[in-house]
Structure 1
Amino acid sequence: MNELAISCNLESPQKQKSKIIINIYNNLKEKLVYKYMIGCNGTWSVLKDFTESENVEWIPKNEGKYILMVQAKKVNGSKSFDYVSRMDYVIGKVEEKLITAVHMDKKKLKLGDKLNITVSTSKMPSMINM
């Protein structure tokens, strides 16, 4: 079980420019310092470098799917960090791709041939029968 837990004052999803407070809950019996980071599309930004503060304010400017990450290290530790915790957070309306794959039972067709197509989706049920 992760002894560090991340939470926010506002539930995901939120609008751009919302004032989001990221909190870390330390259930360990150690004194730690925390590094707060956000990632989106492979790009990471540091909100606050190693600090004793157990919360940080984040005001997102862009829509997207973000990863909130907090690294924690022991005050006198030699490692770059000792613990890490992450959570996903959505800003704005991010459309999710429902179709994950399309499978066909034939690679070549002739006029009049029957083709069976199977569509894999990320959510079930994905269609309503009418």
Structure 2
Amino acid sequence: MLSFHPTPLQSIAGKILPPKVRSGAPAELKRYWMVLLKKGPVRNQDTALAAKIQRGHMDNINRLSAAGKLVVAGPFENDETLRGIFIMDCKDSLEVVSLVDKDPAVVSGRLIFEVKPWWTVKNCMFK
């Protein structure tokens, strides 16, 4: 008798993929934009200024989220170079750059960023 043991990826997919994808129906893909936030060249701000920049960075995250442009944001743990990610819902990379360029942490030089197109099944986000 054969038995089926799902791989970890299959187990995860069964939990996060919409029912129509799990059933084998064709999936509709959607492009998002992955923004890799990296340690910038200007990190010598005093404690008060660094805290002000961080507050502005968090305010910007909240503003982009409220506008429907930022879907996911968060820091990485224990990585000195790669500091965090944004997953953004924008029409193109130019829109992404124009929005991220205004972030106080980017303006100050504390962060730099790289933009990559990222595809996933439409309406498939963490719940």
Give the TM-score normalised by the residue count of structure 2. 0.23
Structure ranking higher in helix proportion: 2
Larger Rg: 1
Q: Which has the higher contact order (CA 8 A, sep 6+)?
A: 2
Give the TM-score normalised by the residue count of structure 1. 0.23
